[in-house]
């Protein structure tokens, strides 16, 4: 009799959603079906020389894998970056999509695509989804700020051979929720036994999947500890240790922040030692007038360093940009703030990378990122480079609203009141209803 009941239960399971995740992250702003389209933005929108990308967004539904496969098979350029923004959904579909991305050696990043033509509504209303579903390229804008790929989306993301999680975006995980439908009144113990066996099977499938994607088994162990009703946002050391994003200096593009006092911003995270910790850093460039800007550098204070650090930024071999002053300290952050002339700004815009040099009383002239023996910085400085992609476009936008230069002495501009890195404005999770 028991075997007949178990067989009856198995027949009444909803096919394909046995291990689907109803993500606890707020779904407001996400389409109910996974959407994929080709986006085109301004020059360098998705990196140096990149203005076209593939956007994948919304909930991962039961038929998502077939649609993604059909779309990508029709794409001639197999190396266009894929930007993901999704609250998760069906796990089995995520596995299938991930394996297809692995076969294509895909490049995947976490990012939000915004279509200006949808500005009269939302990014997920019927009219906007129709625009995104049209054939050809969709004019769009791209940002990593507050972008998320969580729950089942994280599995999809892991399929790419090149994976990048920007410092201001989120990759989050939690355990799956087993969903099935039972008609009739089978014994509770029979249902409980069936559920337990299926969860064991789900754990085994996840372990095999992660191993095939080259991801540390530690991630699977972590996922098992995170309740379905919760969400664990992977920290930068975890992303590095699990083999998800192993860049020693992940950084954002320069982007305009439209605050009361607008500025162009870049965030980076610097690997320390073996990668068990990363230090957050942020640069902000303000336009004070047409002849002068102000450059701020904010970073987490290194508790292990005695005394004050000195920091220098170079644009090219000989052009020193900043900084000549001692930093101010605000909680766990150090802040440098220096005026920069229009000539200095132009020098920054003219080079693909800016070189940052750091020296402390205990410095041994080695860098966790790299030390450049050809640098013109003084001996004893540990150096690393940051990309300038997006800086030119951002500065042009700032100049459009920047006041003209005034005659007379130039007063020292105060440090803007918000000094901690804005990366902490990350997406938040809330329990499912």
Boundary residue ending a domain (241, 275, 304): 241
Q: What would the mean pLDDT of 151-167 be, rounded to a whole number? A: 97
- 410 in any annotated domain: no
Within this chain, do residues 211 and 317 fall inside the same structural domain, yes or no?
A: no
pLDDT for residue 185: 74
Within this chain, do residues 163 and 39 fall inside the same structural domain, yes or no?
A: yes
Within this chain, do residues 278 and 333 fall inside the same structural domain, yes or no?
A: yes
**pLDDT tens-digit readout, 64-88:** 999 999 999 999 898 899 999 999 9
pLDDT for residue 3: 37
Q: φ and ψ at 271, to 5 degrees? A: -70, 135
- Residue 210 pLDDT class (50, 70, 90 cuts): very high
Q: Look at residue 267 and tell me whether its pLDDT is greater than 50.
A: yes
Q: Look at residue 367 and tell me whether its pLDDT is greater than 50.
A: no
Structural domain count of the chain? 2
**Segment of 183-197, 312-326, 358-372, 406-420 carrying the highest mean pLDDT:** 312-326
293 and 345 in contact (C-beta within 8 Å)?
A: yes
For residue 255, give the DSSP letter. Answer: E
Q: What would the mean pLDDT of 381-405 be, rounded to a whole number? A: 90
For residue 420, give the DSSP letter. Answer: S
Q: Look at residue 431 and tell me whether its pLDDT is greater than 80.
A: no
Q: How far is it, in rounded angstroms, from Cα 402 to Cα 287?
A: 6
**Segment of 117-126, 190-199, 331-340, 412-421 carrying the highest mean pLDDT:** 331-340
Q: How far is it, in rounded angstroms, from Cα 83 to Cα 46?
A: 9
Q: What torsion, rounded to 10 degrees, do the Cα atoms 429, 153, 116, 349 define?
A: 90
Q: What would the mean pLDDT of 139-145 be, rounded to a whole number? A: 96
- 413 in any annotated domain: no
pLDDT for residue 413: 47
- 418 in any annotated domain: no
- 412 in any annotated domain: no
**DSSP string of 59-125, one letter each residue:** -B-TTHHHHHHHHHHT-S-TT--EEEEB--B-HHHHHHHHHHHHHTT-EEEE-EEE-GGGTTS-SSS
pLDDT higher at 197 or 405: 197
- 119 in any annotated domain: yes
Q: Percent of the chain at pLDDT above 90? A: 58
Within this chain, do residues 39 and 143 fall inside the same structural domain, yes or no?
A: yes
pLDDT for residue 2: 32
pLDDT for residue 422: 59
294 and 433 in contact (C-beta within 8 Å)?
A: no
Q: φ and ψ at 130, to 5 degrees? A: -70, -40
Q: How far is it, in rounded angstroms, from Cα 266 to Cα 96?
A: 35
Joined together, the tokens standing for residue 118 give 């949808």
Boundary residue ending a domain (219, 241, 263): 241
Joined together, the tokens standing for residue 325 give 């002053």
CATH of residue 210's domain is 3.90.226.10
Q: Percent of the chain at pLDDT above 70? A: 78
Within this chain, do residues 262 and 236 fall inside the same structural domain, yes or no?
A: no
pLDDT for residue 430: 35
Q: What would the mean pLDDT of 93-112 be, rounded to a whole number? A: 97
* b/e 396-407 (16+ beta carbons within 10 angstroms → b): eebeeebeeeee
Within this chain, do residues 146 and 293 fall inside the same structural domain, yes or no?
A: no
Cα 93 versus chain centre, distance: 22
241 and 275 in contact (C-beta within 8 Å)?
A: yes
Least confident of 149-163, 170-184, 273-287, 371-385: 371-385
pLDDT for residue 182: 65
Q: What would the mean pLDDT of 350-359 be, rounded to a whole number? A: 90
- Residue 326 pLDDT class (50, 70, 90 cuts): confident
pLDDT higher at 207 or 178: 207
Within this chain, do residues 44 and 147 fall inside the same structural domain, yes or no?
A: yes
- 96 in any annotated domain: yes
- Residue 421 pLDDT class (50, 70, 90 cuts): low
CATH of residue 320's domain is 2.60.40
Joined together, the tokens standing for residue 17 give 């959603």
Pairing of strands 137-139, 333-341: unpaired
Q: What would the mean pLDDT of 202-221 be, rounded to a whole number? A: 93
Taking the CA atoms of 241, 162, 143 and 429 in sequence, report the sign of the dihedral they define: negative
Strands (E), 160-276: 162-164, 170-173, 232-233, 255-257, 263-272
Q: By residue range, what is the domain housing residue 127?
A: 2-241
- 421 in any annotated domain: no
**pLDDT tens-digit readout, 18-42:** 344 444 444 667 999 999 999 999 9
What average pLDDT does the structure give for the chain?
A: 82
pLDDT for residue 406: 65
Within this chain, do residues 322 and 182 fall inside the same structural domain, yes or no?
A: no
429 and 230 in contact (C-beta within 8 Å)?
A: yes
pLDDT for residue 377: 55
- 97 in any annotated domain: yes
Pairing of strands 232-233, 255-257: unpaired
Within this chain, do residues 237 and 269 fall inside the same structural domain, yes or no?
A: no
Q: Look at residue 264 and tell me whether its pLDDT is greater than 60.
A: yes
Question: Whose structure tokens read 């204070």?
Answer: 301
Q: What is the pTM of this model?
A: 0.84
Residue 338: is it exposed, middle or buried by C-beta count within 10 angstroms (0-12/13-18/19+)?
A: middle
Question: Whose structure tokens read 């779309």?
Answer: 71
**DSSP string of 270-318, one letter each residue:** EEETTTTEEEEEEEEEEEEETTEEEEEEEEE--TT--S--EEEEEETTT
Boundary residue ending a domain (215, 241, 267): 241
Within this chain, do residues 150 and 271 fall inside the same structural domain, yes or no?
A: no
Within this chain, do residues 35 and 166 fall inside the same structural domain, yes or no?
A: yes
Q: Look at residue 420 and tell me whether its pLDDT is greater than 60.
A: no
Within this chain, do residues 216 and 261 fall inside the same structural domain, yes or no?
A: no
Least confident of 242-256, 257-271, 320-334, 411-425: 411-425
Is cis: bond before 319, omega within 30 of 0?
no
pLDDT for residue 361: 57
pLDDT for residue 262: 93
Q: How far is it, in rounded angstroms, from Cα 337 to Cα 355?
A: 17
pLDDT for residue 193: 72
pLDDT for residue 51: 96
Q: What distances in angstroms separate CA 265 from CA 22, 76, 133, 403, one per listed residue? A: 35, 34, 32, 20
**DSSP string of 351-385, one letter each residue:** SSEEEEEEE-TT--S--SS---TT--SPTT-EEEE
């Amino acid at each position: 009799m028991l075997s007949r009941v178990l067989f009856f239960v198995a027949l009444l399971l909803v096919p394909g959603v046995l291990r689907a995740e109803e993500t606890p992250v707020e779904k407001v702003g996400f389409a109910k079906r996974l959407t994929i389209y080709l986006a085109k933005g301004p020059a360098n929108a998705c990196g140096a020389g990149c203005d076209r990308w593939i956007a994948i967004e919304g909930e991962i539904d039961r038929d998502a894998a077939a649609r993604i496969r059909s779309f990508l098979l029709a794409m001639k350029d197999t190396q266009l970056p894929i930007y993901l923004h999704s609250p998760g959904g069906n796990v089995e579909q995520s596995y299938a999509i991930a394996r297809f991305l692995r076969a294509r050696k895909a490049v995947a990043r976490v990012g939000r695509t915004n279509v200006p033509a949808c500005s009269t509504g939302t990014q997920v209303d019927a009219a906007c989804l129709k625009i995104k579903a049209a054939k050809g390229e969709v004019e769009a804008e791209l940002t990593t700020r507050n972008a998320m790929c969580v729950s089942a989306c994280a599995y999809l993301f892991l399929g790419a051979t090149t994976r990048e999680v920007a410092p201001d975006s989120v990759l989050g995980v939690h355990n799956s929720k087993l969903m099935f439908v039972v008609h009739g009144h089978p014994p509770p113990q029979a249902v409980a036994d069936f559920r337990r066996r299926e969860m064991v099977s789900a754990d085994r499938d996840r372990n095999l999947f992660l191993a095939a994607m080259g991801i540390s088994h530690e991630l699977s162990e972590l996922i098992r500890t995170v309740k379905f009703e919760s969400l664990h946002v992977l920290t930068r050391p975890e992303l590095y240790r699990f083999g998800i994003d192993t860049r020693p200096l992940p950084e954002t593009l320069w982007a305009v922040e439209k605050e009361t006092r607008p500025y162009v911003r870049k965030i980076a995270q610097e690997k320390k030692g073996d990668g068990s910790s990363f230090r957050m850093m942020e640069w902000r460039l303000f336009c004070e007038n047409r002849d002068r800007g102000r450059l701020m550098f904010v970073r987490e204070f290194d508790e292990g360093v005695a005394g004050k650090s000195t920091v220098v930024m170079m644009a090219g071999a000989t052009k020193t940009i900043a900084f000549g002053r001692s930093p101010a300290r605000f909680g766990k952050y150090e802040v440098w703030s220096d005026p920069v002339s229009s000539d200095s700004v132009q020098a920054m815009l003219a080079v693909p990378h800016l070189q940052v040099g750091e020296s402390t009383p205990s410095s041994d002239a080695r860098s966790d990122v790299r030390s450049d023996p050809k640098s013109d910085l003084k001996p004893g400085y540990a150096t690393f480079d940051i990309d300038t992609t997006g800086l030119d476009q951002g500065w042009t936008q700032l100049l459009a609203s920047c006041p003209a230069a005034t005659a007379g002495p130039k007063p020292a501009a105060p440090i803007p009141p918000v000094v901690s890195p804005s990366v902490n404005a990350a997406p938040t999770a809330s329990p499912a209803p």
